[in-house]
Structure 1
Amino acid sequence: MAGIAREVLPANSKRALNKFLTEYDWDEQQFNHERLEELQKHGETRWSKDGYIILDDTITEKAGDEVPGVGHFYDHAEGDTVWGQDLIYAFYADDKTAYPLTFRLYEQHDDEDDDHDTKYDLAREIVTELEEEVGVPADTYLFDSWFAHDSGLPDHIESYDKDWIGPLRSNRQVTYAAEEIRVDALAERIDTTERDIEDDSYHIWTKKLPVSQLGDVKLVVAEKETDEDEENPVKYLATNKIDAPTEHVIRSYGMRWRIETFFEDSKQDLGLGDCEMQTDEGASRHWHLLMAAYSLVRLDPESSALGTVRSKASSLRANLEHSLKEAVYNLLSWVRDNDDRGVDDLMEEIDHLFVHSTADANVQS
């Protein structure tokens, strides 16, 4: 935020930054839509029909009592209840890129207040925005078991002729052999088949079955083979893509991990949890600028000064650390293979590795 502010503010101070977030006249919703439009002008970040929209929420711990939406939330990452904010995000991902689309802040209310938005309401509101205002072409939504349970979200997604994939909780009821049983009870009645999907081995069973609150879905029971000291949980994946190959369902759901790396990058390096703004507008602007910063780092990574990207599924920090090590390795290799060259030649090689690459990236951006 401070870096962005330095480029647009007449003065450098904490007060100027605070005014930028709370008093300047700019529309953060319009800014977000323009950010997404800009990303579509570049091949490496342009979305496609084959991409995925991922819905998930994240908890950020807070110290203050007056920040918007603050309350006690259970944080699965911490395994405990924390004082913080709960943000519901939509995230785009495909084989070449990944970036946030939009978000909503969930605010707790008394159970007696029937008028407040639930997480389910906010998730459906996000889908409506993406389909009717933004126009994201991705065919498939991914979400966790929380959003697949009594949310109305799958029906809302289907109303836009889109597909969805999500896991079921182990206690969800399915109808099998004319009997309604828990989905985890299927393990005693089915025979799985071993299959290799990319670099992993799975024991898989799949069938079209009625599931409570979802109707007829394609149910995939998948148990991934792991080392003896690792947990080996069984996944119960459901999707309205009845005819989709089982490998496609499992591989597609694996894309959901991209939003986890976004949360990791945002909290560790982009200041998601550092903002203690006490106004709704200031906090919202901070989050929108954070998404812009993340998108700028994602934009055209192959031509950046730090070399190649290790993996789109890795965090930005891991990618940059790997690329920096790669650049240093290449430089040391050049020194080893050119021990008869002078300092001027070495400086020229450094200039080629970093300065010229940066200029090329700026021109393309």
Structure 2
Amino acid sequence: MASRLYRTTRQLYLAVEAALVRLHLNTMGTPTLAALIALAVTGLILLDARPAQTRVARVLPARCYDALNRLLRAMPFSTRALSSLLIAFAKRLGRDGYLVLDDVIVEKAFAKRLPWAGKIYSFAKKRKLWGIHIVVLLWCSCDGAWRIPVGFRLWRPKRSCRTECYRTKLQLAIELVTQVVAARLSVRYVVGDTHYSAGWFGKRLARLGLTWHGTLDPKTTVVWHGRKQAVRDLAPQLHLKWRKQLGLRAKALRVYAPKYGQLRLVVTKNRHGNYEYLVSNDLQADLSSMVLRKRSRWSVETVFRDSKQFAGLEACQCWVDQAMVRHVGLVPLTFVVLQVLRSTSEESVGAVKERWQLAVIRDGQIAPAPLKACPPELRPTA
């Protein structure tokens, strides 16, 4: 298939194919399936805007766009099998890591008939919008070198499924965590925002043998020193000590919550006067580690940003259910391939994509010398 590509794009395709072999994609199905997935991933890396099948087939003429359409709509492969490959790859890295649970909205303003789309409130844009809701489970290595989405589920609105088939985001999330635990992936803790700190959800994570960290809703009832009160009423009673290394005031204590049981609670107050209530089922956790572990949740936000900008998360224009799910499944695969193609662990996925796009444009040619009229300090960017 590589022989049918342009000379300028052949090197990128071969690099992507080698990265997918490292992920053991060739064990998932036929050679044709692996080649088409490599072609689709190469297209997502090469194109910045509108990486539809017709444009991918135009710049990568190894197969026609009908073959890429059949990949998304008809060919027999499972997105859960792709997630299993990513879990196995994270396991082969041999590093300690942690899990982050969160969800992302892909805006579809003019797709009101799409079964997966619904009206959802976006905290980023501070308004309701029409879009697709995707629950994502991210595994991050503790040294910060790897961010691997090991599972995802598309949330389906009640209007487009039977009542007995409807599942909430938390129900979808517990399926993802159970799959990772069954695979025996190294996990130190699980962290999420307030939505993923529900009482029954925390108890399920504890039964799976996991340490979880989250944020309590201010209205949550807790018992401290025999007094039952909302956690927002408890916070002003505490003497919060300034923690210079964390840049906030905080105090750690042990409380009992009727919906959770015994919890380790850390009340924090930032320089703007806003309170935050961090909790964990690890009753021996120290204050600093709880704050730092809660801050580690930001890794998933950077993955959402990079997936939209560099891996084509918002690019799918399909109406078929299966095609939509499979495109979303190829996005985490592309994101991991970009990390595999890094020259150093510090290189960002955006820099990797730019480097390969420039390699395609230059085709091995050396850039001309800068003009002498250009000032020396501006020559690197001239």
Q: TM tier, shorter chain?
A: 0.7 to 0.9
**Alignment: residue pair count:** 304
Contact 1:171–1:184, Cα closer than 8 Å, also in 2: yes
1:160 to 196, 208, 222: 208
Change (3 A) 1:248 1:318: farther
Mapping of residues 285-304 of structure 1, within 5 Å: 285-299=326-340, 301-303=342-344
Q: How much has 1:74 moved relative to structure 2?
A: 0.8
1:206 to 247, 252, 264: 252
Mapping of residues 1-365 of structure 1, within 5 Å: 1=40, 3=42, 10-13=62-65, 15-41=66-92, 46=93, 48-49=95-96, 51-62=97-108, 63-93=110-140, 94-95=142-143, 96-109=145-158, 113=163, 115-132=165-182, 134-150=183-199, 152-197=200-245, 200-225=246-271, 231-299=272-340, 301-303=342-344, 308-309=346-347, 316-317=349-350
Output the aligned Cα RMSD: 3.1
How far apart, in 1, do the equivalents of 2:87 and 2:301 lie?
Answer: 20
How far apart, in 1, do the equivalents of 2:312 and 2:181 lie?
Answer: 29
How far apart, in 2, do the equivalents of 1:164 and 1:11 lie?
Answer: 46
TM-score, scaled relative to structure 1: 0.75
How far apart, in 1, do the equivalents of 2:339 and 2:180 lie?
Answer: 21
Q: Percent identity?
A: 22
Contact 2:105–2:132, Cα closer than 8 Å, also in 1: yes
Change (3 A) 1:75 1:9: same
Q: How much has 1:256 moved relative to structure 2?
A: 0.3
How far apart, in 2, do the equivalents of 1:318 and 1:233 lie?
Answer: 36
Q: How much has 1:2 moved relative to structure 2?
A: 6.1
How far apart, in 2, do the equivalents of 1:285 and 1:293 lie?
Answer: 12
How far apart, in 2, do the equivalents of 1:238 and 1:263 lie?
Answer: 25
How far apart, in 2, do the equivalents of 1:218 and 1:319 lie?
Answer: 41
Change (3 A) 1:113 1:27: closer
How far apart, in 1, do the equivalents of 2:94 and 2:233 lie?
Answer: 40
Q: How much has 1:27 moved relative to structure 2?
A: 2.8
Runs of 4+ in 1 over 4 A off after TM superposition: 4-10, 318-322
How far apart, in 1, do the equivalents of 2:298 and 2:354 lie?
Answer: 20
Structure 1 unaligned residues grouped into runs of 5+ = 226-230, 311-315, 325-334, 340-349, 351-365
How far apart, in 2, do the equivalents of 1:213 and 1:137 lie?
Answer: 28
The aligned counterpart of 2:17 is none
Give the structure with the higher percent helix: 2
User: Could you report, residue by residue, the CA deviation over 1:124-167 in whole angstroms, capped at 9, with x for unpaired residues?
Assistant: 111111112x32220211011112134x2111111121100000
Change (3 A) 1:30 1:112: closer
Q: How much has 1:168 moved relative to structure 2?
A: 0.7
Q: Which moved more, 1:31-40 or 1:276-285?
A: 31-40
The aligned counterpart of 1:344 is none
Change (3 A) 1:128 1:36: closer
2:136 match: secondary structure: strand
2:139 match: secondary structure: strand
Q: How much has 1:170 moved relative to structure 2?
A: 1.2
Contact 1:67–1:276, Cα closer than 8 Å, also in 2: no
User: Could you report, residue by residue, the CA deviation over 1:75-109 in whole angstroms, capped at 9, with x for unpaired residues?
Assistant: 11111111111110000112232121101111111
Contact 1:67–1:277, Cα closer than 8 Å, also in 2: no
Contact 2:41–2:330, Cα closer than 8 Å, also in 1: no
Q: How much has 1:177 moved relative to structure 2?
A: 2.6
How far apart, in 2, do the equivalents of 1:268 and 1:119 lie?
Answer: 25
Structure 2 unaligned residues grouped into runs of 5+ = 1-39, 44-55, 358-368, 373-379
How far apart, in 2, do the equivalents of 1:321 and 1:178 lie?
Answer: 59
Change (3 A) 1:189 1:2: closer
Contact 1:172–1:183, Cα closer than 8 Å, also in 2: yes
How far apart, in 2, do the equivalents of 1:114 and 1:173 lie?
Answer: 31
In structure 1, give the amino acid aligned to 2:117: V
Contact 2:138–2:150, Cα closer than 8 Å, also in 1: yes
Contact 2:79–2:326, Cα closer than 8 Å, also in 1: yes
In structure 1, give the amino acid aligned to 2:267: V
1:187 match: secondary structure: helix
